[in-house]
Structure 1
Amino acid sequence: MTAAETAATDVPVTAPTPVVSVKPLVLEAPGRGEDLRVRVSAPVTGSGLPVVVLSHGYGSSLDGYGPLADFWAAHGFVVLQPTHLDSRTVALPPDDPRTPRLWRIRVEDARRVLDRLDDLEAAVPGLAGRLDRSRIAAAGHSFGGQTAGNLLGLRVLDPVSGTEEDLSDARVKAGVLLATAGRGGADLTPYAAEHFPFMNPDFTHMTTPALVVHGDKDDLPLSVRGPEWLADPYVLSPGSKSLFTLYGAEHSLGGITGYEARETTDEHPGRVALIQRVTWAYLRHALGMGDTAWTAARQVLAESAAHPLGRIESK
């Protein structure tokens, strides 16, 4: 194990437990054009379990993000993973009339999952009566980060209606935004402005506590500003926020998108292990389940600590 991989264990974590994962659970979704398929992962033991809705990045599905979903579930969370319409498994044609509204349908997917939480709970053997509905978080990577952000108060100027609507959900108490797009307008490349007109987030109303995670080598062809663009959800939003910057990380942040995922350009098991621990610690802290691990994470990843993998700052 390298020094960097060893450094990932500086953030303490509870012992893992076995996990049960059920897929696909199908929720009727009138008006969507496709029923909503969901994966639910949960520890086989424990009660009062908090819930995380995990929104995948563009093209992925309920089968993605195993390194996060499996870890969170093994350490006490119930993880709900909807498959959005942009998934490769749906194979929506580019000229589908729903395409301009994909960003919004994603938010509706996440809300539908919460609306149907009783049904999802009942469909998983042994899960009934074990959820804590007062502790719900939203997490997402890339396009999924914007989806999770909408639940936290991020607003989008809808390119179809021309309106900016509040789609936040009071049930969601905290968020984790991973490699999430920053400000639109002049900060976008011409390609992004043409192909992703919904990429115009307004963070000024995103008041729900959140951890923003970004890589300092994540230089997407979507912004003219380089990797710092993905820190905007932290810099431009009010309220209690923390920023976790990962050194050397590109868009897949070392491999969070899946085990041996083809999207990973910067494979780094130690980085993934640290993300697992830090996000878990933050979620527990933000949902009022204890601060020990989060306090330790902030101490070892303080800007003055010279940690080899990254740093945390908060406001």
Structure 2
Amino acid sequence: MFNGNAAAGAPTPIVSVSPVTLPAADRGEDLQVRVSAPVAGRELPIIVFSHGFGKSMKAYAPLVDYWAAHGFVVAQPTHLDSRTLNITPDDPRHSEIWRFRVADLKRILDHLDVIEAAVPGLDGRLDPGRIAAVGHSWGGQTVGMLLGARVLGADGLPGEDMSDSRVTAGVLLSTTGTGGADLSPFAAEHFPFMSPSFADMTTPTLVVAGDKDQSPLSVRGPDWFTDPYHLSPGPKGLLTLFGAEHSLGGVAGDAVTETTDESPERVALIQRITWAYLRSTLYPGDDTWSAVRTAMSADIDQLGRISVK
């Protein structure tokens, strides 16, 4: 039986610092970032994490704390759609928030020196050659852009390439699929940017989707959230979680009101699988992800299935 926690090793103490402020005059609000890191270790790989709609850098502790306790430095920006900033639809930035979101993640990567200096004991311990990006829900679309996905224009042609070659691995959690006829009338009217093309999303990526995730934004069923896997070129992985809805069991945090399918077991599985995938993708020759796929332990069999291409 595969034991994901054993593969990851014992958790180590972590430190979290917030807010780390990155000046952003063009954004209208300085970018606030939370940084979590293990207290020990050198040449640490980096995860930039994009939150879902309305959330902030304070959310997603179940995932962030796990990754940090097992060797990653995690940077979480507060995007402009966060409820903590209260930007209204009449704000001139509102229609472009999806672009600002992508720029937020790139701003973090542009200022890793500031991140290092802001966290006591972190200076000189990052490995800028090993960077992953992870996002949930709207954050998944944001991260997808860094990985090579593009927004289709009204003419059906792919828009600006916003990918970033510094990011060499990704995880998309509950990430929306194609637009056009697949969108609900509400989504088509209010979210014209929700029309991605995954044809150029070439960066190795793990897609995580719940088979009970029925979104009001689409006229399709839960299979909509598997589009980033099926419609992109390999190499890709897909973790389909049985019985999971949009919160995937509670990845945003304990007792979060939006969680309709609370499952500590499911969250624990996501912790282990995402860690294994990122570890093996960022470190060629590491066989942890292969061990997950081939061992298919009882908990994976009961909670979901893994596909690869």
What TM-score, normalized to structure 2? 0.95
The aligned counterpart of 1:175 is 170
Of 281, 305, 314, 2:308 maps to 314
The aligned counterpart of 1:267 is 262
The aligned counterpart of 1:92 is 87
Q: Mark the runs of 5 or more structure 2 residues left unpaired by the alignment.
A: none
SS of equivalent to 2:25: coil
In the TM superposition, what whole-angstrom CA distance separates every residue of 1:81-106 from its partner, at most 9, and x where no partner exists?
A: 00000000011012111111010100
Distance 2:107 2:59 in 1: 20
Q: Mark the runs of 5 or more structure 1 residues left unpaired by the alignment.
A: 1-5
How far apart are residue 9 of structure 1 and its match?
5.3
Distance 1:63 1:290, change over 3 A: farther
Mapped contact 2:55–2:83 kept (Cα < 8 A): yes
The aligned counterpart of 1:226 is 221
The aligned counterpart of 1:20 is 15
Distance 1:281 1:68 in 2: 13
Mapped contact 1:155–1:205 kept (Cα < 8 A): yes
**Aligned: 1:101 with 2:99:** no
Specify the code of the residue in structure 2 equivalent to 1:156: V
> What does residue range 1-315 of structure 1 map to in structure 2 within 5 Å?
12-157=7-152, 164-288=159-283, 291-301=286-296, 307-315=301-309
Specify the code of the residue in structure 1 equivalent to 2:22: L
SS of equivalent to 1:39: strand
What TM-score, normalized to structure 1? 0.93
How far apart are residue 30 of structure 1 and its match?
1.4
Specify the code of the residue in structure 1 equivalent to 2:85: V
Specify the code of the residue in structure 2 equivalent to 1:47: R
Which stretch of the first structure deviates more once superposed, 170-179 or 255-264? 255-264
Corresponding residue pairs, total: 307
The aligned counterpart of 1:3 is none
How far apart are residue 12 of structure 1 and its match?
3.3
Mapped contact 2:2–2:295 kept (Cα < 8 A): no
Distance 1:8 1:227, change over 3 A: farther
Specify the code of the residue in structure 2 equivalent to 1:312: I
| Superposed CA RMSD | 2.0
